[in-house]
Amino acid sequence: MDERELDAALEACEREPVHIPGAIQPHGALIAMDEQLEAVRQVSANLESILGVPPEDALAMTPEQLFTRRWLDQIRAQLDTRNRYGALVVSLRIRGRARRFSLLPYRSESRVVAELEPMSGHPERWLFGALADWQTELSGYTTRDGLLRGLTALVRELAGYDRVMIYRFDEDWNGSVVAESRVEGADSYLGHHFPASDIPAQVRRLYSVKRVRDIPDAAAQAVPLVPPTDPVDESPLDLSRGVLRAVAPIHAAYLANMGVTASMSIALHLDRQLWGLLACHAASPNILPPALRDALRAMVQTACFQLELIQAREEAALIQRANDSRDMLVDQRGEFSEPEEIVARHGPAWLRVFHASGAVLVAGDWSASAGTVPDTESIESIVAWLGEHHSGDLAWSSNELGKTGLAEFCKPARAAGLLAVPLPVQNPRDAWLLFFRSEKAETRIWAGNPAKAIDRESGRLSPRQSFEAWKETVRGQSARWLPVERRAAADLASDLAVLVAAGEISRLNQRFERLATSDHLTGLWNRYRMEEAIDHEVSVAERYGRPCALVMFDIDHFKRFNDTWGHDAGDEVLKHVARSVSTQLRDTDHVGRWGGEEFIVLSANTGLEGATHLAERLRAAIEVLEIRDYGSVTASFGVAVHEKGEQSRELVKRADRALYAAKEGGRNRVELADG
């Protein structure tokens, strides 16, 4: 197979119209109506076995005759309620007997679709109470691994699947199983990897439209729509928002080769991005009650909230470690005469914070290093390449330098990965903070040979025939750099730039002209300038008894702007917030960018009541910002008022703790520091 054949097959796979199969799974029925709910356009061929009405009769009836006016009004109400999730529970008379159904209505372009699934018993009665207990249990986990193991075990116990897995996507959309619960005898895929083509792009997009994909019996014959084409609207009926969409033949073959008959997947979204899937498999058919399926979806949503909280705590811990190092750097800013002293004293701590094997601080003709780094000549070539290609970036990183323009200068054993941050000084092409990571050789276990097979007759990809473990040794890569590490490194580089530009290091004082007191992106005061102002105001407060307050705030869910629209969007949000806040301040107030998406306001001659009103005013001003189509922007605030005898650093820490409490308390709110 040549590369062109493979590319063509992958493109064809991603164009597969899985959302318009023209058929449904047989455990339910479908009725498609016009937008006004006045005419029946299409029905599933099994309508008589589900509703007791032959398809040809249903097509001659009105929706009101099929559903009764009561339920038709409920469908209209459901369609008109924005963002409402879940199906209706309806009772219809079928051959003289009342039968209960789960009815899921949704719009599909110019049509309205109603999907019906028969219900037996009343599982929702006990599920409602039990769900609260399950959600409480999941909310109690404090580690990612523990939470995911608990979730898989709970779902398997409730839903009766043979194997339940957490399938996590990487940056290239390959997947790996990071948690698993299974019955004895079921194959284990824990630690196994799956290529991105197993869940192609158009299927991943469907998980943003409908978070649950339920296949009770992949081997069951699909039920076609009658008539095959809508007599009024010839466009295929889009079933993306439904639960009954028929199984694509290639996916049915994939599951069969895996020994799976029943399958259910529920999407895990973190910060509005698809993070992974909860994947359930059974060797025999497994029809879940719709109420239980909805409860499982709610449990997964709770787990996602908890994952976000755990991730936020981990990121906060890393930022705190980085800030501790920065605080020490600022405290000792008069003690260094040579750049080597900075790196010698602080380099080992930087390596621990950023999980790096080496660090280099370089500006112009000199450089200083800690740990394992490339030789001096290679560093010069790396800096020249970065200055040519990435001097305008806030940070640039790679975990596989062998596939970049730096390959000839970096040997994997010493430098497989690089995080490079330009110092925001007069000539950033010449000043960089570099962190290196050495090679992390990995034996990757794939669920079957990931090499693609092509059906010669159709030219399309064929599903793997075997899922037996297939090992691959991956070399030349380091651990990936996290977004929070990039932000923390950029903040550290800003502090180093202050030392460079301030003339507090004699050799650097010959190269850079003046002290940088403004944040290069927003134009606000930078951290160094704010710390000077806070020190002065605290001194005045101690001497004359004049009150002062700090308002610290952080943009909520800032990561989603960078992840969804790119880093330019994140920069634009920061600048809009800075401008909005600046317009709300008095002449005696000062605002600065503290680091990343965090800001601080120093309010002189202000007590608790005035500082609280100020914080609420700033919160409201940010909340009404409209920036392109990025969605809402909110921020969380912490307020601290100076207490007699309190040093500047303790005042800042109390404001920071109040900010963290606002984050923990639900975001977009103001919290006051403990007195």
- Please give the pLDDT value at position 431: 84
Does the pLDDT value for residue 137 go beyond 70? yes
- Please give the pLDDT value at position 457: 56
Pairing of strands 598-604, 589-595: antiparallel
Pairing of strands 23-24, 589-595: unpaired
Residue (of 495, 662, 515) closest to 594 by Cα position: 495
pLDDT digits (tens, 9 = 90+) for 474-501: 888 999 999 899 989 988 888 887 766 5
290-331 and 144-159 helices cross at what angle (nearest 10)?
Answer: 180
Does the pLDDT value for residue 361 go beyond 70? yes
- Please give the pLDDT value at position 583: 93
In angstroms, the CA 147 to CA 143 distance is 6
Return all residues near 320 (Cβ < 8 A) that are at least 6 apart: none
- Please give the pLDDT value at position 507: 43
Exposure string of 122-133, with b = 16+ CB inside 10 Å and e = fewer, is ebbeebeeebee
In angstroms, the CA 24 to CA 232 distance is 21
Which range (230-239, 411-420, 572-581) has the least confidence? 411-420
- Please give the pLDDT value at position 106: 94
In angstroms, the CA 433 to CA 435 distance is 7
Domains and CATH numbers, the chain: 7-21+121-312 (3.30.450.40), 23-119 (3.30.450.20), 332-441+476-509 (3.30.450.270), 527-672 (3.30.70.270)
Give me the mean pLDDT over the 73-82 stretch.
Answer: 85
Question: What is the rounded average pLDDT for all residues in the chain?
Answer: 87
Residue (of 274, 150, 154, 271) closest to 213 by Cα position: 274
Burial class from Cβ neighbours inside 10 Å (0-12, 13-18, 19+) for residue 658 reads: buried
Pairing of strands 97-108, 88-94: antiparallel
Give me the mean pLDDT over the 552-567 stretch.
Answer: 92
3-state secondary structure of 658: helix
Which among 68-82, 275-289, 315-329 has the top mean pLDDT? Answer: 275-289
Q: How confident is the model at residue 452 (pLDDT cuts 50, 70, 90)?
A: low
Q: Check the CA dihedral 487-144-191-199 and report its sign.
A: negative
- Please give the pLDDT value at position 509: 40
- Please give the pLDDT value at position 506: 47
**Residue 191 in contact with residue 167, Cβ under 8 Å?**
no
Does the pLDDT value for residue 504 go beyond 80? no
Which range (272-281, 309-318, 511-520, 621-630) has the least confidence? 511-520
- Please give the pLDDT value at position 327: 78
pLDDT digits (tens, 9 = 90+) for 525-543: 999 899 999 999 999 999 8
DSSP string, 590-634: EEEEEETTEEEEEEET--HHHHHHHHHHHHHHHHT---TTS----
Is the whole model's pTM more than 0.75, yes or no? no
- Please give the pLDDT value at position 214: 97
Which of the pair, 6 or 302, is modelled with greater confidence? 302
pLDDT digits (tens, 9 = 90+) for 383-406: 999 988 887 777 899 999 989 999
Q: How confident is the model at residue 316 (pLDDT cuts 50, 70, 90)?
A: confident
Percent of the chain with pLDDT over 90: 59
- Please give the pLDDT value at position 599: 97
Exposure string of 470-484, with b = 16+ CB inside 10 Å and e = fewer, is beeeeebbbeebbeb
Give me the mean pLDDT over the 42-47 stretch.
Answer: 97
Which of the pair, 366 or 74, is modelled with greater confidence? 74
In angstroms, the CA 231 to CA 234 distance is 7
Give me the mean pLDDT over the 60-65 stretch.
Answer: 95
In angstroms, the CA 647 to CA 25 distance is 68
Does the pLDDT value for residue 460 go beyond 80? no
Which of the pair, 261 or 387, is modelled with greater confidence? 261
Burial class from Cβ neighbours inside 10 Å (0-12, 13-18, 19+) for residue 63 reads: buried
- Please give the pLDDT value at position 510: 40
Percent of the chain with pLDDT over 70: 89
- Please give the pLDDT value at position 445: 79
Does the pLDDT value for residue 125 go beyond 70? no
Burial class from Cβ neighbours inside 10 Å (0-12, 13-18, 19+) for residue 386 reads: buried
Q: How confident is the model at residue 629 (pLDDT cuts 50, 70, 90)?
A: confident
- Please give the pLDDT value at position 631: 87
Does the pLDDT value for residue 279 go beyond 60? yes
- Please give the pLDDT value at position 463: 67
**Residue 406 in contact with residue 478, Cβ under 8 Å?**
no
pLDDT digits (tens, 9 = 90+) for 642-666: 999 999 999 999 999 999 999 999 9
